[in-house]
Structure 1
Amino acid sequence: MKLKFIALAVCGCWLAFAHPVLAQQTERVPALREKVYGQLARAQEQADNGNLAEGLSILSDVAEKADSMNSYERAMMWNFYGFMHYEQGNTKQAINYFEKVVKESPIPESLQKSTLFSLAQLALSDGQFKRAIAFLGQWESLAEKTELSQAWVLKAQANYQAGDHRAALPLIDKAIAAADARQKTPDENWLILKRALHYELEQPKQVAKVMERLVADYSKPEYWLQLAGVYAQLEQDEKQLAVLEAAHQQSFVKKGSEWRQLAQAYYFNELPYKAAETMQEAIANGKVDASVDNLKFVAQAYTQAKEYEKAIGVYKKASARVEHGKFAAQIAQLYLTLDNNEKAVEYAKQALTKGDLDNEGNLYLAEGMALLNLKRYEQAVESFEQAGGREATQRQAKQWLKYAKSQHKQQQQMAKLQ
């Protein structure tokens, strides 16, 4: 029997069910009489022209004589009913009529086989997962060995959607293994389903392996970036960075979140300068906003890379956009490191004026050290006394205070001698 197939996307796979073009009967199957053939052909013609209601009306006339029809003729009639109800979006009715097809006997094996597979797909799309699996069981008894992967995939999908992830996993594994044995690339959707199952079963190492396969076989930008994310979850920082760099070289890094991920990967792999420069590039290109948080990251990365002047420049931009003095305090510390004591004192005072600091004691210590370097000992004593009043810096401040007082006393004595 000659068939044409109408393919429709259902649950990530393709639904192909028989829409017969009436022709000669199969051996050992009752003949399709000319009168019935003519009526079914008219119904098909109406359906093909978009007149489904008229097609159903013609089939209704045919159905009144169902008792006088043979099994093949009735199967063909039910098949058309099923197809037309599916075209109207009535999946449940379509399933009912396609079931009638396979209950007729004898009918061509090709019709029985294609209808059972369509029933499984329709049941799956309608949320009838157990029925889908049952239809597939019947289909498997007719299928060739090379076709069984289709059933394993659909059964895996049915179990996945039913929430039985452990039952679904070995089925999709069998389908993938069968493709590998034939040296064929497994269908992309099969790998996606396997990835989803490992994710649901909280198996990140297996998720990474599937993502590696997707990258190797299909190399889509999102797969590279998702693989990097899985490596990050597994704390495999070097692998994460290697994948992100490869993705960047292929121009796959486009979104702001992806640029941030790349910059953070550099930072965690102890490449702070590249981290800062990557984020700066992303800001300059408009990929990410010059937000306070992003500026803070850049400044911290430059600081870690000992690029203090660059860090100060970025901290100043961030400080101008906030009311607290935390960034000004960082600037003061960096100026002290650069031995720019005047600026260190200036920004220490600015930070103290703004307030809301994480550790005032440390800032008073930094201010006191800068004042010592400037030989402004009396002011240094005041700063160290302030630091000594904070528990976290009390011990350290005590030592510096003693030194500052001695220097101040010596300074006074020298002034008297002069």
Structure 2
Amino acid sequence: MRMIKTIKTLPYTVAAAALLAALPAAVPVIGSSAAMAQEAPKPAAKSRKVPALSLDVHKQIQKAQEAIDAKSYAEAEGILREVLAREKINDYERAVAWQINAMLAFEKDDTKGTIRAYEQILKYAESIPEALELQIMFGLAQLYFAEENYPKALQFVKQWETRAEVVGATQILFIGQLHYALSDYKKCVEYVNRAITDAQNSGGGVEVKESWYQLLMSAQWEQGNLKEVRDILEILVINWPKPVYWTQLAGIFGELGQETVSFSLTEAAYKQGFLDDKPQQIVNVAQIQIARQAPIKAAWILEKGFKDKRIEKTGDNQKLLGQSYMLASEWRKAVAPLEAAAKAGNDGDLWLQAGQVLMQLDKYAEALEAFDGAIKALSGQRAGEQRDRKLLTAQMQSGQAHTELKHFKEAEASFGAALKLAKADRDRKTANQWIAYMKAEKAREDMLEGKG
């Protein structure tokens, strides 16, 4: 039995969602629009001499902000162009004008324009409060992340991190995400763990989110740290008991060689209805029952899956059902699924199994039909040791069924074909013994009918 390794898809199914879910929004850091209310890093302010903002420039900046709030973007652009074209304004006033330009570009979903405006502000870094300069740096890191320019994002975040006096959990997490995007999974793990610890120590001020653990799990998976992935999945199962975590946890225990635990988790997920929309996983549960020496339970799971239309009656699934019944010695119930599977795939092996089951039930005529199907299917395959042995078995058992039905001429033909296929002395001896038995039966029948 081969278990499906659901965990194999982990990085693709989890990592992207984790990055999107946990990514802090990159927004301008000043302004009156509603977007400006979103969280931004808050490094401790430091003393820096900042020039004054003149009353006239203040009025123009206010008008531009009001135009942005009213969605009058062209008007706002005109006001800001006029302010920046002035010769007699100081660096602080230019920085403020570029801040409003950044807000305008953000409102227009112009990420590149927002980046340009932010970088213009940093040209006047010595004339703006240091806290604002650091916020701009972090904003640029976020914006470059959104543009998938991860090296540039890392450049700005490193500058920010070395100077910021306060680094919160969400900012730490963002740095972890950035390292994940750069495939530096070890650093990602370091930062995400820091973010979780920081949040847990905040006294409820910051909530540790599911996506944080998803990101951490993906980074550990990329490094092949299966035990760490298992530990994270256990946290996810306890706090966010979703079906996908149950199946992934079962898969990880399987990868770690703990098949018993893996089977138990998969079975528990099935019983809770977590696998109802996962046909292959339901089939896996049936296979688990076979591995646990409980084939009748495997058959029940498959029958219920067919009845509830959770799994399709494919040839492979019918084969598994028939074999489950065979292993459970439920011969009568094994026939229909084995025959259905044999017809679906013109499978000589399954025709042979169906014939053998019918022989157990003394249904010799039906067994002959199955053996004929096996002989036709196997004869169409390339000759080889395994194929020849199966064909030999089919011919031998066809001869036995003909003998039971007193079809002595046909039995002799089948045993003769078996003798031609027999290569080992033991097989030739068995065929000759059946031929002798068949001839004795024929002689007895002839005597009873007065032909002797």
Residues 403 and 438 in structure 2, CA contact (< 8 A), matched pair in contact too: no
Whether 1:199 aligns to 2:188 is: no
Change in CA separation of 1:152 and 1:324 when aligned onto 2, cut-off 3 Å: same
Corresponding residue number in structure 2 for 1:294: 317
Determine the C-alpha separation between the residues in 2 that align with 1:181 and 1:53: 47
Task: Compute the displacement of 1:306 (Å).
Answer: 2.4
Corresponding residue number in structure 1 for 2:428: 398
Equivalent position amino acid for 1:283 in 2:
F
Determine the C-alpha separation between the residues in 2 that align with 1:352 and 1:57: 88
Residues 312 and 331 in structure 1, CA contact (< 8 A), matched pair in contact too: yes
| Cα shift readout 1:316-344 (whole Å, capped 9, x = no counterpart) | 33344444544332210112233444433
Equivalent position amino acid for 1:92 in 2:
K
Q: Secondary structure at the match of 2:329?
A: coil
- Picking from 81, 85, 89, the partner of 2:101 is 81
Change in CA separation of 1:208 and 1:381 when aligned onto 2, cut-off 3 Å: farther
Corresponding residue number in structure 1 for 2:279: 256
Change in CA separation of 1:412 and 1:26 when aligned onto 2, cut-off 3 Å: closer
Whether 1:135 aligns to 2:156 is: yes
> Percent identity of the aligned residues?
26
Residues 323 and 354 in structure 1, CA contact (< 8 A), matched pair in contact too: yes
Determine the C-alpha separation between the residues in 1 that align with 2:134 and 2:223: 34
Determine the C-alpha separation between the residues in 1 that align with 2:227 and 2:78: 58
Equivalent position amino acid for 2:25 in 1:
L
- Write out aligned runs for 1:44-83 (5 A): 44-65=65-86, 67-69=88-90, 71=92, 73-83=93-103
Corresponding residue number in structure 2 for 1:171: 191
More relative contact order, 1 or 2 (CA 8 Å, 6+ apart): 2
- For structure 1, which segment, 324-333 or 346-355, has the greater mean C-alpha deviation from structure 2 after superposition? 346-355
Task: Compute the displacement of 1:353 (Å).
Answer: 4.3
Change in CA separation of 1:67 and 1:326 when aligned onto 2, cut-off 3 Å: farther
Determine the C-alpha separation between the residues in 2 that align with 1:397 and 1:368: 14
Q: Secondary structure at the match of 2:273?
A: coil
- Picking from 212, 227, 232, the partner of 2:249 is 227
Whether 1:93 aligns to 2:113 is: yes
- For structure 1, which segment, 365-374 or 254-263, has the greater mean C-alpha deviation from structure 2 after superposition? 365-374
Task: Compute the displacement of 1:191 (Å).
Answer: 1.9
Determine the C-alpha separation between the residues in 1 that align with 2:87 and 2:271: 67
Residues 381 and 401 in structure 1, CA contact (< 8 A), matched pair in contact too: no
Residues 31 and 103 in structure 2, CA contact (< 8 A), matched pair in contact too: no
Residues 40 and 77 in structure 1, CA contact (< 8 A), matched pair in contact too: yes
Task: Compute the displacement of 1:186 (Å).
Answer: 3.3
Whether 1:332 aligns to 2:329 is: no
- For structure 1, which segment, 373-382 or 335-344, has the greater mean C-alpha deviation from structure 2 after superposition? 373-382
Equivalent position amino acid for 2:142 in 1:
Q
Determine the C-alpha separation between the residues in 2 that align with 1:269 and 1:222: 24
Task: Compute the displacement of 1:276 (Å).
Answer: 2.6
Equivalent position amino acid for 2:174 in 1:
L
Determine the C-alpha separation between the residues in 1 that align with 2:418 and 2:194: 69
Residues 136 and 151 in structure 1, CA contact (< 8 A), matched pair in contact too: no
- Write out aligned runs for 1:234-253 (5 A): 234-253=256-275
How many matched pairs? Answer: 405
Change in CA separation of 1:149 and 1:282 when aligned onto 2, cut-off 3 Å: same
Equivalent position amino acid for 1:404 in 2:
W
Give the CA RMSD over aligned residues. Answer: 3.4
Corresponding residue number in structure 1 for 2:238: 216
Task: Compute the displacement of 1:235 (Å).
Answer: 4.7
Q: What TM-score do the two structures reach when normalised by structure 2? A: 0.77
Change in CA separation of 1:351 and 1:171 when aligned onto 2, cut-off 3 Å: same
Corresponding residue number in structure 2 for 1:13: 23
Residues 408 and 442 in structure 2, CA contact (< 8 A), matched pair in contact too: no
Task: Compute the displacement of 1:59 (Å).
Answer: 1.0
Determine the C-alpha separation between the residues in 1 that align with 2:322 and 2:194: 52
- Write out aligned runs for 1:93-132 (5 A): 93-102=113-122, 103-132=124-153
Corresponding residue number in structure 1 for 2:437: 407
- Picking from 152, 173, 177, the partner of 2:172 is 152
Corresponding residue number in structure 1 for 2:339: 316
- For structure 1, which segment, 306-315 or 266-275, has the greater mean C-alpha deviation from structure 2 after superposition? 266-275
Residues 26 and 143 in structure 2, CA contact (< 8 A), matched pair in contact too: no
Q: Secondary structure at the match of 1:105?
A: helix
Change in CA separation of 1:133 and 1:397 when aligned onto 2, cut-off 3 Å: same
Residues 384 and 400 in structure 1, CA contact (< 8 A), matched pair in contact too: no
Corresponding residue number in structure 2 for 1:5: none
Equivalent position amino acid for 2:312 in 1:
D
Change in CA separation of 1:123 and 1:345 when aligned onto 2, cut-off 3 Å: same
Determine the C-alpha separation between the residues in 2 that align with 1:277 and 1:236: 25
Residues 169 and 194 in structure 1, CA contact (< 8 A), matched pair in contact too: yes
User: Unmatched 5+ residue regions in structure 2?
Assistant: 1-18, 34-44, 382-386
Determine the C-alpha separation between the residues in 2 that align with 1:10 and 1:378: 76
| Cα shift readout 1:79-104 (whole Å, capped 9, x = no counterpart) | 11122223333323322321333442
Determine the C-alpha separation between the residues in 2 that align with 1:251 and 1:143: 49
Residues 46 and 131 in structure 2, CA contact (< 8 A), matched pair in contact too: no
Task: Compute the displacement of 1:133 (Å).
Answer: 1.9
Determine the C-alpha separation between the residues in 2 that align with 1:296 and 1:218: 37
Task: Compute the displacement of 1:411 (Å).
Answer: 4.2
Residues 371 and 380 in structure 1, CA contact (< 8 A), matched pair in contact too: yes
Change in CA separation of 1:372 and 1:209 when aligned onto 2, cut-off 3 Å: farther
Determine the C-alpha separation between the residues in 1 that align with 2:244 and 2:371: 46
Task: Compute the displacement of 1:232 (Å).
Answer: 4.0
Equivalent position amino acid for 2:419 in 1:
G
Determine the C-alpha separation between the residues in 2 that align with 1:67 and 1:199: 58
- Picking from 393, 399, 402, the partner of 1:362 is 393
